[in-house]
Structure 1
Amino acid sequence: EKTKPRATLALIAENAEGLFALTGCAYGAVPRAMRGGDVDAARDALSRLAGIFGERCYVELSDHLDPDDPALCDALAQLASEQGLGAVVTNNVHYARPEGRRLHDVLRCIEGGLTLDEAGNRLKPNGEYWLKDETILRERLGRHPEAFANARAIADACTLDLETIGPGGGRALGSMVGQDRLPGFPVPQGHTAFSYLYALCQDGAREKYGLMTPGVATGLAHELSVIDRCGLAEFFLINWDIVRFCKERRIPAQGRGSAADSIVAYVLDITKVDPIEHELLFERFLTEDSRTMPDIDLDIASNDREEVIQYVYKKYGERYAAMVCNVVTYRARSASREIAKALGFRDETVDRMAKSIEQYNVDPRSRPSAAQHPAYKHPNREAEHGWEHARPVGDALQELADTMDEKERTRFPLFRELTLAIADFPRHLSIHNGGMLITAQPLVDTVPIERATMPDRNVVQLDKRDIEDLGLVKMDLLGLRTLSLIKDAVADIEARHGERLELGTIALDDEAVYDLICEVDTVGLFQVESRAQASALPRVRPRCFKDIVVQVAIIRPGPLQGNMVNPYINRRQGREAVTYAHPLLEPALKETLGVILFQEQILRVAMAVAGFSPSAADKLRRAMSRARSSADMEKLRAPFVDGASANGVAADVANEIFRQIAAFAEFGFCKSHAAAFALTAYHTAHLKLYYPSEFYVALLNNQPMGFYSPAVIAGDAKRHGVAILPVDVARSNEKAIVEECSHAGDALHPVDSSNTIARRRTCRVHDVRLGFESVKGLGEAEAQGIVAERARSGPFTSFDQFARRVGLKEEALRNLALLGAFDAFGEARRELLWRARDAHRTSPAFTRPVLALPTSDAP
């Protein structure tokens, strides 16, 4: 168990150099024996420790106002003196402040599944187990001044400079060249890491751009120079190597986020969006003055992500690679339920209270549609939101007070207090979605780690912010179901049509694709299928790729809260004039019609108006996103206004421009991130338009994803002339498949006359046959078993024969019958429902060994 000690005294003795040893709280061997009156046992225990640690062994003195504590501390101090050891004043700290006791006690009860009335000695006897200052401790233990001096000496000796762990410590990357942050990337003989990166970039640039134009050459040279001065060549090589592995395995993988601002990342094929063509800004990604490592988020087809993670483990080894943790906090409903149980509330009260905490921001379309047959699985995508989405606890629960008994009413104020106190309180650690730490030194010498529940895997007990603060290198390997959809659809297209579709080479100016999007025919399309997008698309009507980039970025909480959406749409529709506070703003804001939408635009405005360098402009953006007080903002305003004045911008205009970028700094979206997502959105639209059958098969097989239930997807497919056929024991596979149309001539299916895209489509459309895994009661193993049995022993000829050969549970048989999987046998579904129970009892899975009884002629 993670909570149990694993280091034996013998193991510690082998590694005792440089360690201090303290005798522990009341449960330590020395104080426990002394408190029990066994001085000899206490002396022996202390001697064992002193034999290992010598003068670095100290006896702890702690007074928590237990009546026996003063005498115990004096006796322990005397014992330390007898053996020539020091004493040290300590707190047995279980919570930071006195008021933390109630929450601590309730958390202990939650941990043990007990109520406060049942907890007994699991709880501390009083409220003295908090972090006291020296003044309070001297009131209790001032008669032992040497113990205070020892406490300070030990604390000073253990003071840790974070630079001794990680190479960061808040310093600029450009000042950290030569420090080992990465395990070393193997390069061909005769190369350094940088020279190899340089060679790869030259090859990649020729492949991407053909003729090396001055703009490409200058931009690439500048980026490589910054990367070299920051000592990040290995960082880029590691990411290139991961993407190379994915390409070899035909696993879709692409970088997003600010990494898409980099030409180097693009020519290495880490990112897929051309930063020159789309006017992206490298300094949003990396400058020499950056205080944190650059961030390359790699989206990987979710079904293949584990294979990529295992490749990294194999390449760098378990000692140098581990997953980053994520701190899971208490959520509104679960917290209220657990606290109420710990306070001894009745089960019915607990249920009413938990249900009364209303959750907001759950899209109703994320819930299963009533139109979908109940025998099919419904992916449950209703997330449990956090406290920011919960109705205030008092408002939600006060109305229940009248239904409580006397004890519950008495403890209700405490319940309210604790429910608010536990908001966003850490509950447990989980594995980060994709964060992976790779270090130059062994992990155990660098960060705290623990074993994961998955075999042969470690988890770093630091979250991504801790990793950034230490300047360590985190790789983000994120699973994206849409890329699995794309991979499956492309593979199906190749298998059926012999066409190897390279989405990275298709033109991004296909009018028909933009027609599809403008008509809000977006079910299944990445990033543009939500209800908010459906509302905005007819008004914006994107007609080029840059419009899609804006569309992806603008329908976000930040732009919506920052009031960016309506001004942009009004200007797009010509209902509002496009204006600029100063002509210098036009080059930076022209693509978004004068509205500050992208974070990169803040940098461009600062550079154009105030004459900031790219590095200084990014510093301004970062500072604005963090600044909260008016004093902080004033510190940022002065150099901006001064720089603008030097450029001939009047002070009042400069102040207004500063006000605008400060207002939008918190809400702006990263343009390169939007561009990367827009490319994936375009690719899914292309697949839906030109390969609808393969698209819908891949979409159904990669559920849950997006906003819509399988029933909605099936209805959308029908509008496109694609029939979604039910499960059939003679035809279905484990997952959905494309099936030849069964009607004469294999003509197109009738389509919804209102769907102009479907009416204009010239490609051949086929049916989609649902797979066994879509049926309730059938998992992957059962579905594979059905297909394997059919392949091994031939087609199924009747319901009873199917039940005997496959051996499914009654629920699965009934659901298959309900869905018409046996209709080809000509038997009524109602009849099969009755027979499912008896068929289950005679199946191989139900059959049990029969006891052989003696016959009459037995001896």
Structure 2
Amino acid sequence: MRRAADGRRPAPHGPDRPGPWARELPRYAELHCLTAFSFLRGASEPQELVERAVTQGYEALAITDECSLAGVVRAHKQLREMREAAHHALREAATEAGEADAVIDEPPLLKLLIGSEFLVRDDTGMPRFKLVLIAQNLHGYGNLSQFITQLRRASPVKGEYTLHWRQLAPEKLTDCLALLVLPREADDADLLAAAHWLLQHFTGRAWLAVELLREASDALWLQRLQGLSEATALPLVAAGDVHFHVRSRKALQDVMTATRLGRTVADCGFDLQPNAERHLRSRQRISQIYPAELMAETLNVAARCTFSLNEIRYQYPSEVVPAGVTAARHLRDLTYAGAEKRWPWDEQGVGGVPDKWKARIEHELALIEELQYEHYFLTVADIVDFARGIGILCQGRGSAANSIVCYCLHVTSVDPDRSTLLFERFISRERNEPPDIDVDFEHERREEVIQHLYEKYGRDRAALTAVVICYRPKSAIRDVGKALGFSDAQLDVMSNDHSGWSTQVLPDEHRAALLQQMALPEDDPRLQQLITLGRQLNGLPRHLSQHVGGFVLTEGLLERLVPIENATMKDRSVIEWDKDDIDELKMMKVDVLALGMLSAIRRCFDLVNRLRGTAIDLTIPDDDRATYDMICKADTVGVFQIESRAQMSMLPRLQPREYYDLVIEVAIVRPGPIEGGMVHPYLKNRALPADQVEYPSEALKEALWRTRGVPIFQEQVMQVAIIAAGFTPGEADQLRRAMAAWKRPGVLEKYYDKVVNGMRERGYTDDFAKRIFDQIKGFSSYGFPESHAASFALLTYVSCWLKCHEPAAFLCALLNSQPLGFYSPSQLVQDARRHDIEVRAIDVNHSDSDSTLERRDGQHHPAVRLGLRLVSGLGKDAAGRIEKARSQVGEFAHAQDLAQRARLTQQDMQQLA
């Protein structure tokens, strides 16, 4: 066993290291592999392909989805996790062998290559050949990503591209290796022309791919390619045209082909692959098919590729930092300038930033500077400043509300004196991932913010994050069922019956019932095929969509980091990676989100300020007794967050009397606290005098006193783990992340021993420890962080105050912000009338497009005149023409006058009747 320079010995080989048998088989690297991100072509996830390649002892695997890099990060992450697991296993083996100080070599496992496949067309638009490009280094990767972007953005149809052979500019694809995949049906002249084209454009970095798939023409095809190689001096290399990781996925790949072509499998004929050879075959099988020199050449290709996704270095935009000032200095200046506004001095010289918050500011600024996140905070603050500068109401929420720096920058609005800040919920060293700040904007004006970002940074530096739309049971059943030839009526029966998804084989009684309901013969094998293939398809990616508002902004060209394509929505562009992908590569995003209640509140502020001559805003005092009286009576139709029936039933029991009570109310009616059994204990303890509430220890009392000894929020679960189980703040955040990944089996359970043993070591009973862990599991369903609930509670209170004190303006604002909330306009109007608000009917001679306020003599509250926009079926343009015609000439004399002056159609008149 090797000794290191310091005398330590290396760890022994572990089970994940190749044994002697591996050296007896020829080495091989797969250079042409599609994943499920080649939508409706590849039938396996990137993770499955990586795992299979490792188990088969491949030297390298190239992920080469068609005109896409959408799946490469998932492959990268899978390989990283497998390396970490193998390293951990080797470390444990060394420790058990009494060699804890042994040098642990990096487990080789697999080399991941990044590339893409392209269908190249001739001058007539007909497919000519396929070209596989593989990045050699970071520069080549950037060229490849940029090339994909150009093709995707030039296409008028989302998700498609067109590449003509004359379009290829080899000078823009330097540092990329090229494999030419030729069609077998081509004549020798076409093969020679394509080979010369490749030789001309990719001199010294081109190969002819030999893909032998156990077809009858394999021997002849190999002979033709060998002749072509001799004629052009282009080397041959083996490749597998992989579409799935194991041969058993062939049936699913047939279903995907049928779905892509819009036919049944039975009608696809020769469009289906003739066999199941397009999987990651064993090296023994490959060695029986390919000449040894073609397998050896795969290693030469792989050796020329050194690029890893770890080389990507994301840089945030620098525009937000003035010349001559460092980002850290500028952030510090803005933070303390904002702090002085948050904690101002009064005329007597009393006030200023409290010492405890100065210490907290310094702590956060130091960590932000250490992790080099200054530009991110400055960019988010700049976006918020822009929005507020043009009168758009906005507010940060989520884990960012744990940050006092965000509060001082006026990104968030939660006063730290009224909440429990846990900065590690937002940023920590152990977490080792970028922060994520969510900012809500008025839903009707968010587009102004989005377009501002495009204008400021350019579409080559700004784009939305993707969302991977995956198959779900119903959509999987429908696509598989159509491919197998089931009727829509039969699929309706099956898609509404999910009980068969829990077992691989249907129980006889269940199968018989379904056969009868679907009118199928008893010996029809398709029902079991439908279940089997539906289960395989469920969860696989179907297509990419755009994130609701997650923006990625970069200092350099974003398209050199990740391909960008046009979104379905006009004037939007989207990258090919989702949130988890950019988190893996430490790329930052800012969420520019839309919230309808902000639109309603801003409209209400405008109405009230015009009516009363005041200037109310989100700083409304939060201790209004009348508002809390209204809340305690569950008189909350139309307000934010506490208007549902479940919330209304909780309000009289919880009896909120202050802001923090609303924070609890917002969070407690959620699946997490309910399933974790926290609601009834909390209500029971809330009814007790504070000094009679029992706590497991004085240390935990500090974390749980505000919620009467019961953890209601995710932050409290983290604090309990830190205090009672000895977790570090970073480990506690990993626990939170495990709670968020509750759908993945075994993720949360691995923390059980650490939680229970840690509490036992600190003197807590096993019963208490297990109860806490059960509550943690309950939170995994859906639990609110306190910071999120605190942000929402602010808007909850403001909406309640407006409903209580300015009910007419509140109703008017709600009606003009529809669709919004739980209740229809008619229900909102009925509620307002129950509160003695006069609501006047729609009248073409008095109603504008929006609902408006009309003064009433001697009355404090005005009347609400319903707007034309509430007329079902009446278009926005027609309502605008009515309003304009009336303002120009005056009231309408009769229906014909209305129709003529407002240029209304017969349908418009019918809607108004």
* 1:532 paired to 2:646: yes
Q: Match of 1:216, as an amino acid?
A: W
Q: Match of 1:537, as an amino acid?
A: L
| Counterpart Cα distance in 1 of 2:230 and 2:753 | 57
Q: CA deviation at 1:699?
A: 1.0
Q: Does the aligned pair in 1 maintain the 2:255–2:265 contact within 8 Å? A: yes
Q: Which residue of 2 aligns with 1:209?
A: 343
Question: Identity rate of aligned residues, in percent?
Answer: 36
Mapping for residues 615-626 of structure 1, pairs under 5 Å: 615-619=730-734, 621-622=736-737
* 1:71 paired to 2:220: yes
Q: Match of 2:654, as an amino acid?
A: V
| Counterpart Cα distance in 1 of 2:697 and 2:491 | 60
Q: 1:713 aligns with which of 823, 828, 845?
A: 828
Q: Does the aligned pair in 2 maintain the 1:321–1:439 contact within 8 Å? A: yes
* 1:636 paired to 2:750: no
Q: 1:230 aligns with which of 371, 391, 394?
A: 371
| Counterpart Cα distance in 1 of 2:216 and 2:675 | 58
Q: CA deviation at 1:574?
A: 4.0
Q: 1:449 aligns with which of 557, 564, 568?
A: 564
Q: Which residue of 1 aligns with 2:794?
A: 679
Mapping for residues 448-467 of structure 1, pairs under 5 Å: 448-467=563-582
Q: 1:165 aligns with which of 312, 315, 318?
A: 312
Q: Which residue of 2 aligns with 1:434?
A: 549
Q: Does the aligned pair in 2 maintain the 1:320–1:443 contact within 8 Å? A: yes
Deviations 1:323-357 (A, max 9, x none): 11111223444444444333333444455555x45
Query: Secondary structure of the residue that 1:103 maps to in structure 2?
Result: helix
| Counterpart Cα distance in 2 of 1:202 and 1:612 | 32
Mapping for residues 508-527 of structure 1, pairs under 5 Å: 508-527=622-641
Q: Does the aligned pair in 2 maintain the 1:21–1:57 contact within 8 Å? A: yes
Greater CA deviation, 442-451 or 80-89?
80-89
Would the alpha carbon gap of residues 342 and 596 (structure 1) be closer, same or farther in structure 2, given more than 3 Å must change?
A: same
Q: Match of 1:165, as an amino acid?
A: I
Q: Match of 1:200, as an amino acid?
A: L
| Counterpart Cα distance in 1 of 2:642 and 2:168 | 58
Q: Which residue of 2 aligns with 1:489?
A: 604
Query: Secondary structure of the residue that 2:168 maps to in structure 1?
Result: helix
Q: 1:100 aligns with which of 226, 245, 249?
A: 249
Would the alpha carbon gap of residues 335 and 135 (structure 1) be closer, same or farther in structure 2, given more than 3 Å must change?
A: same
Q: Which residue of 2 aligns with 1:247?
A: 388
Would the alpha carbon gap of residues 529 and 638 (structure 1) be closer, same or farther in structure 2, given more than 3 Å must change?
A: closer
Deviations 1:372-429 (A, max 9, x none): xxxxxxxxxxxxxxx99xxx99979954634536599553333333333332332221
* 1:260 paired to 2:394: no
Would the alpha carbon gap of residues 408 and 507 (structure 1) be closer, same or farther in structure 2, given more than 3 Å must change?
A: farther
Q: Which residue of 1 aligns with 2:453?
A: 312
* 1:21 paired to 2:178: yes
Greater CA deviation, 606-615 or 92-101?
606-615
| Counterpart Cα distance in 1 of 2:532 and 2:865 | 55
Mapping for residues 147-546 of structure 1, pairs under 5 Å: 147-158=294-305, 160-167=307-314, 181-210=315-344, 211-350=352-491, 356=496, 398-399=513-514, 401-404=516-519, 409=524, 411-504=526-619, 506-546=620-660
TM-score (normalizing by structure 2): 0.76
| Counterpart Cα distance in 2 of 1:216 and 1:635 | 37
Q: Does the aligned pair in 1 maintain the 2:481–2:530 contact within 8 Å? A: yes
Q: Which residue of 2 aligns with 1:752?
A: none
Would the alpha carbon gap of residues 466 and 55 (structure 1) be closer, same or farther in structure 2, given more than 3 Å must change?
A: same
Deviations 1:494-542 (A, max 9, x none): 22222221222x2111111111111111111111111211121111111
Q: Does the aligned pair in 1 maintain the 2:245–2:279 contact within 8 Å? A: yes
Q: Does the aligned pair in 1 maintain the 2:548–2:593 contact within 8 Å? A: yes
TM-score (normalizing by structure 1): 0.80
Query: Secondary structure of the residue that 1:453 maps to in structure 2?
Result: coil
Query: Secondary structure of the residue that 1:734 maps to in structure 2?
Result: coil
| Counterpart Cα distance in 2 of 1:703 and 1:464 | 30
* 1:42 paired to 2:176: no
| Counterpart Cα distance in 1 of 2:588 and 2:405 | 18
* 1:114 paired to 2:263: yes
Q: Which residue of 2 aligns with 1:604?
A: 719
Q: Which residue of 2 aligns with 1:829?
A: none
Would the alpha carbon gap of residues 41 and 628 (structure 1) be closer, same or farther in structure 2, given more than 3 Å must change?
A: closer
Q: 1:549 aligns with which of 663, 684, 693?
A: 663
Would the alpha carbon gap of residues 725 and 149 (structure 1) be closer, same or farther in structure 2, given more than 3 Å must change?
A: farther
Q: CA deviation at 1:621?
A: 4.4
Deviations 1:571-594 (A, max 9, x none): 223499733222321111111111
Deviations 1:442-500 (A, max 9, x none): 11210121122344432101111111111111110000001011111111112222222
Q: Which residue of 2 aligns with 1:824?
A: none
Query: Secondary structure of the residue that 2:594 maps to in structure 1?
Result: strand
Q: Match of 1:40, as an amino acid?
A: A
Greater CA deviation, 131-140 or 216-225?
131-140
* 1:60 paired to 2:209: yes
Q: Match of 2:196, as an amino acid?
A: S
Deviations 1:190-249 (A, max 9, x none): 421111111111111111012122112111111111111111111111011111111111
Mapping for residues 719-730 of structure 1, pairs under 5 Å: 719-730=834-845
Q: CA deviation at 1:597?
A: 1.7
Mapping for residues 627-776 of structure 1, pairs under 5 Å: 628=746, 632-633=750-751, 636-637=754-755, 640-641=758-759, 645=762, 649=763, 659=773, 662-663=776-777, 666=780, 668-741=783-856, 745=857, 747=859, 764-776=860-872
Q: Which residue of 1 aligns with 2:163?
A: 6
Deviations 1:34-57 (A, max 9, x none): x44x32331232122112212321
Q: Does the aligned pair in 1 maintain the 2:756–2:766 contact within 8 Å? A: no
Would the alpha carbon gap of residues 765 and 581 (structure 1) be closer, same or farther in structure 2, given more than 3 Å must change?
A: same
Q: CA deviation at 1:299?
A: 0.6
Q: CA deviation at 1:153?
A: 3.2
| Counterpart Cα distance in 2 of 1:339 and 1:153 | 41
Greater CA deviation, 582-591 or 650-659?
650-659
Q: Does the aligned pair in 1 maintain the 2:393–2:442 contact within 8 Å? A: yes
| Structure 1 residue ranges without an equivalent (≥5) | 168-180, 360-386, 748-763, 818-859
| Counterpart Cα distance in 1 of 2:594 and 2:747 | 38
| Counterpart Cα distance in 1 of 2:905 and 2:477 | 38
| Counterpart Cα distance in 1 of 2:770 and 2:472 | 41
Q: CA deviation at 1:292?
A: 1.0
Q: Does the aligned pair in 1 maintain the 2:320–2:382 contact within 8 Å? A: no
Q: Does the aligned pair in 2 maintain the 1:216–1:276 contact within 8 Å? A: no
Q: 1:572 aligns with which of 667, 686, 696?
A: 686
Give the superposed CA RMSD: 3.0
| Counterpart Cα distance in 2 of 1:488 and 1:221 | 38
| Counterpart Cα distance in 2 of 1:207 and 1:195 | 19
| Counterpart Cα distance in 1 of 2:774 and 2:427 | 25
Greater CA deviation, 215-224 or 421-430?
421-430
Deviations 1:603-644 (A, max 9, x none): 3334444565544543554467669369833663488359x5
Q: Match of 1:526, as an amino acid?
A: F
| Counterpart Cα distance in 2 of 1:694 and 1:148 | 76
Query: Secondary structure of the residue that 2:545 maps to in structure 1?
Result: strand
Would the alpha carbon gap of residues 220 and 812 (structure 1) be closer, same or farther in structure 2, given more than 3 Å must change?
A: same
Q: Match of 2:758, as an amino acid?
A: F
Q: CA deviation at 1:696?
A: 0.7
Greater CA deviation, 800-809 or 561-570?
800-809
